[in-house]
Structure 1
């Protein structure tokens, strides 16, 4: 039984709503490998979608049944036209919905009742519009899809491609090569997904599947990702994302792709305003959705590209280049100028060409002769003029060298027949196939492919051919980074104690709709989750403040406590370096006076007198609830210049101690923490404990906490403590406060 047959085994009949990964794979398979296709809303009005899709299905030779439905026609496009599902010669399998939105919902219900397993709703006029009627129809359609269990793409989409089935239910009239290529594409924008397919086709890269998901009322992009991960014919998954609707489904699909060794190359549209709604805390302002998307998805093996050109080069690279064993680069050029460009481009991307191993250098020096300069990259141009065989011998030495992980060749494919260059390319392709490392051709500029170039490119499956130096370097860097990912990513769950979770529930219940917990309440909850807290107590009078200061020991800090003041230093609510009773009394009185003068008349719950910790490094640790990607934890350089420095790194929550250390290592603060330029190493264990605790807290809270801001978290060689804390709640009061 082949892979597709195995997927579809036992799949006949009415579908139940997908419940797990195997159900999703079966649902998508039903859509992409149907027994027949029914076009509901067939019309021969010139240029309409139905006719264009029909023409594509006929042109590319779809071998299943093709049935148009239009109750007012007996024939159309030269074939029989049917009035309804009951009059078809067989049960419908895949239904293309091309009728107006007002009747599309009933078509879905009728199709399911007639035995259909899947549908593509090309029709628009649903949730993409803002009027009340369109929104009502969208909800009715969603309910119909849920109740019938049909595998549905759309509405408001442009159709799909399943090359192995010669299925092209799409309006695109550009040439399509119907071959089971190694790329699967899915995305919400039909125009962008179609453009990606066309660009890959123009580069001679085959696309096995292309699915436009539209409004995603049924199947979503992660469902297609899961299917591509399960299909052995697909090597690279390409997605265009306007938003992540189901974080768990997306992460599960990414994990499935990674387990199958298939990179997910994603073009993600914009940053979500929802991800910045937590800007009352510094953490929320720093953790926009794009940064959060990267923090979570990169861990799962997603390569996010920043434009379509970068997407094409990265896809080409992963389709034809195996992941390398390391990052040791070797390059061969025939030009000193291009050799310099290679060095500059890779250096700018944080990669370098190491000196060649002695054995390879000696072989090249003997071959190139006296006076030659043997380096990496190698400029073989002068010697190759004297003896053309030198060029190919140089490439072979690089490929055979066990101390080289990736071989780069500076050359482009010919636009017209060229016997010598094509012979050399085929020899290199054979070397690459026989070797165990990626061999990548780079053209410094983008060169248009002729039909000859495309055919030649397809005959060289074991070498990658990249264009545009900067984009090529980025693709190679992504290839190396993907190879360096942890081989297995465990599912980490919150490790918090029962007592901590009980404290969380108590504090959230006692908040009584407040926008945020005050500093005292925030720190109480932080302490329950294992975050080290400085010694402190709240004072209601200046005399009480002095008593607390003497108990703690000078110097101390005085800070206003108010649920209505989120950033205390902005209103003069923090006084440092208090070394005597007189200074404490004055600081208490001054803060009270300042607060009483504020226009918004904030509630004053007291003045916090806290231990002043001598710190070698000010950090920020925090957590935020991203609107798309869920809980995320943050670490970086803290203090008053946090937004200016923006030395932060993020990770999906919860995390364990190992991931906390990796997070710290991604920042400049992490470098300082280890002991920068002879300075003593600081107490990293405190920072790790704080990050794990914060990640557990934001994960345990579900959607009830918007952000947690611990700034500064002070660190020295003996300890680390949180001297400030702000927990912003995810409620209406917090959202109103954020707007003002």
Structure 2
């Protein structure tokens, strides 16, 4: 549907968010004549920033507000505005959205609160969503702070950060579920002169959510970095898809996630009506889809500005590439090495010719290898500084340059700035200048960044921020198409009672074996153990107990018929049922792994893999992958875990069959997807990984059925 106004002749292919962020006319519904009020601030902000489109105040209390005619209702407007900013009481909002749709306005922002974030507002939120869907109105909010479109000089927000005459434009977009944080980030980047291109405070996300906005931002020519603040996600699987799109387009997403602790999740839920997933799931999903995760607002600002301004590390031609450290003080060398290891920043190994050239120029007590100790002598001779800097920067292994100044840091930085800027420009590499606790004024820092040189306070900042640049480079190189969903043949028609035979069928469908097993339904007799080799394991059926080990409902290492009989009697006594059926299995030895497919409330189907038995709870050695996944992703995941060391052969044990574990992991993920939401969790704990070439065996399986909503 196109607007009824002849002035807003959008094409049928126009994205609805174009109508919002590039609106040529806006209606301010519920606007106040008092610019000091929250409902009056949006008009003040639009006028102050110089918005060139038509502005239509809507409020039956006024005939005019300043030089603008005020209209009594949306219906009274002379045209259908491209966008509407709704500032009414919550109970009036659904009707206002319906009025927008009837008029022909297809995009709206609802600033009003009183919806999902309150107990009584849930019904109003449903009414709002229904009105938006029925009238084909795309809605951002409610309970949000609005949007900015800097190139369009349009700030549809009550936020004080937009109360300014000059807007600075830069290829940085801000998307936040918190209005206050969206305002804080936009205020900082505008006050510093750095700038941004778009800001979207999405609030409760009753209709459109943060991922919808990000998907639109990926198509814009003035977006290079997206700063994202999240409390939780309703459809997290879409973030994975969109983040992969961003990686293919060379756009970096930087995310700050709140609600990671138990208390934090409660706070996030009360604020936006969401329940956040575990921090570990977000951490692993972000890593796998190329999102850089930061720990605080200051880091979010720093990373956004740096990744927008500086080049990525260049591709070095040498065999041992990484960061070259041009260090004047020697005391920071060990510190720099430790920091590089912590932040996954590679250190270059200098070419022999570089080390010889430095040794010929420098005093004998200097250190010519990377990281260097060039001594303060390089500062006493401008030619010596220039020559040694060029020698380090042009080393065939140098991808990025870290210049570490000493106690005269700012003064020496200014004196040698042109030389560092020339290196950044001529060699097309990032140059980071590190001080020993000093800090340059914001305007000087920004001017240096425009020339490709990043001044930072100390080595920890230097390496951490180089880590972001390296992570961005690795994300671009790791971009690959998402593996298509694979439907597994041969699944049982129905899950039935989730009895042991059904569970075995599920494992067989995934190509995962179980130990030789006997189902004991009566007395323990030698015939019941026929075909099984000692030692044996006796345990209750999965449908009778989830965590058998913790409850003492499994006994292992049983070497005789008599011992098996005694164990069976003890388990049946513990269950209070002398005739309870039991499982008797051959005992398996290998590396214990927990392998689980879960239906995560934020991201949907996920695979979890980690150290099995009690190790998963004791060490938290567990990693997550969104489904579908592939063998390369599972292999990379295992390498990050303590489990990876165990699988390679720990303390003389033989290497385990990692390839079989990887195949089993992918198959279990495919099984979860093929069940299409019928279960909440399939957990194999332990899955024994046998020696290389021998496969894997599932000793136990737990399936949690999906409960009705």
The match for 1:664 among 630, 638, 641 is: 638
1:209 matched to which residue of 2?
A: 198
* Unaligned runs of at least 5 residues, structure 1: 1-9, 17-21, 278-286, 512-516, 736-740
Give the superposition deviation at 1:627.
0.8
After superposition, where does 1:372-383 map in structure 2 within 5 Å? 372-383=366-377
Provide Cα deviations, 1:552-586, integer angstroms capped at 9, x if missing partner: 22221111125231111223221212222222222
The match for 1:655 among 619, 629, 639 is: 629
| Distance of aligned partners of 1:49 and 1:692 in 2 relative to their CA distance in 1, 3 Å threshold | same
The match for 2:151 among 159, 164, 189 is: 164
1:700 matched to which residue of 2?
A: 674
| Distance of aligned partners of 1:480 and 1:573 in 2 relative to their CA distance in 1, 3 Å threshold | same
After superposition, where does 1:137-216 map in structure 2 within 5 Å? 137-174=124-161, 177-216=166-205
The match for 1:424 among 391, 406, 416 is: 416
1:614 counterpart = 2:589: yes
1:447 matched to which residue of 2?
A: 439
Give the superposition deviation at 1:678.
5.8
1:592 matched to which residue of 2?
A: 572
CA distance, structure 1, for counterparts of residue 418 and residue 209 of structure 2: 41
1:242 matched to which residue of 2?
A: 231
| Distance of aligned partners of 1:227 and 1:607 in 2 relative to their CA distance in 1, 3 Å threshold | same
RMSD value over aligned CA atoms? 3.2
CA distance, structure 1, for counterparts of residue 533 and residue 88 of structure 2: 78
CA distance, structure 2, for counterparts of residue 489 and residue 366 of structure 1: 46
Q: Tell me, what secondary structure is at the counterpart of 1:543?
A: coil
1:506 counterpart = 2:482: no
User: What is the TM-score with the length of structure 1 in the denominator?
Assistant: 0.85
| Aligned residues of 2:75 and 2:99 also touching (Cα < 8 A) | no
| Distance of aligned partners of 1:384 and 1:651 in 2 relative to their CA distance in 1, 3 Å threshold | same
The match for 2:699 among 723, 732, 736 is: 723
CA distance, structure 2, for counterparts of residue 459 and residue 506 of structure 1: 63
CA distance, structure 1, for counterparts of residue 91 and residue 124 of structure 2: 7
Q: Tell me, what secondary structure is at the counterpart of 1:331?
A: strand
Provide Cα deviations, 1:109-153, integer angstroms capped at 9, x if missing partner: 22232232322111212222111xx22221111111112222321
1:636 matched to which residue of 2?
A: 610
Give the superposition deviation at 1:165.
1.0
Give the superposition deviation at 1:86.
4.9
CA distance, structure 2, for counterparts of residue 275 and residue 624 of structure 1: 22
Provide Cα deviations, 1:166-186, integer angstroms capped at 9, x if missing partner: 112222334655233110011
1:571 counterpart = 2:563: no
Give the superposition deviation at 1:390.
2.8
Higher RCO, Cα 8 Å, sep 6+: 1
1:4 matched to which residue of 2?
A: none
The match for 1:624 among 582, 586, 598 is: 598
2:40 matched to which residue of 1?
A: 51
The match for 1:67 among 56, 59, 67 is: 56
- More helix as a share of residues: 1
| Aligned residues of 1:399 and 1:432 also touching (Cα < 8 A) | no
Give the superposition deviation at 1:273.
7.3
Q: Tell me, what secondary structure is at the counterpart of 2:211?
A: helix
Q: Which moved more, 1:152-161 or 1:291-300?
A: 291-300
Q: Tell me, what secondary structure is at the counterpart of 1:682?
A: coil
| Distance of aligned partners of 1:273 and 1:652 in 2 relative to their CA distance in 1, 3 Å threshold | farther
CA distance, structure 2, for counterparts of residue 707 and residue 273 of structure 1: 21
| Distance of aligned partners of 1:274 and 1:447 in 2 relative to their CA distance in 1, 3 Å threshold | closer
| Aligned residues of 1:272 and 1:627 also touching (Cα < 8 A) | no
Provide Cα deviations, 1:195-250, integer angstroms capped at 9, x if missing partner: 12223345543211111111112321111211221112111011111111123432
Q: Tell me, what secondary structure is at the counterpart of 2:169?
A: coil
2:271 matched to which residue of 1?
A: none
| Aligned residues of 2:294 and 2:300 also touching (Cα < 8 A) | yes
1:645 matched to which residue of 2?
A: 619
1:514 matched to which residue of 2?
A: none
1:7 matched to which residue of 2?
A: none
After superposition, where does 1:137-536 map in structure 2 within 5 Å? 137-174=124-161, 177-271=166-260, 289-324=278-313, 325=315, 328-351=322-345, 353-410=347-404, 421-422=413-414, 424-443=416-435, 445=437, 447=439, 449-450=441-442, 452-453=443-444, 456-457=447-448, 459-460=450-451, 462-467=452-457, 469-485=459-475, 487-500=478-491, 503=492, 505-507=493-495, 510-511=496-497, 517-536=498-517
CA distance, structure 1, for counterparts of residue 615 and residue 39 of structure 2: 59
| Aligned residues of 1:15 and 1:150 also touching (Cα < 8 A) | no
| Distance of aligned partners of 1:706 and 1:580 in 2 relative to their CA distance in 1, 3 Å threshold | same
Q: Which moved more, 1:73-82 or 1:170-179?
A: 170-179
CA distance, structure 2, for counterparts of residue 158 and residue 308 of structure 1: 18
2:273 matched to which residue of 1?
A: none
| Aligned residues of 1:15 and 1:148 also touching (Cα < 8 A) | no
CA distance, structure 1, for counterparts of residue 387 and residue 208 of structure 2: 52
| Distance of aligned partners of 1:686 and 1:339 in 2 relative to their CA distance in 1, 3 Å threshold | closer
User: What is the TM-score with the length of structure 2 in the denominator?
Assistant: 0.89
| Number of residue pairs the alignment of both structures matches | 685
* Unaligned runs of at least 5 residues, structure 2: 1-5, 267-275
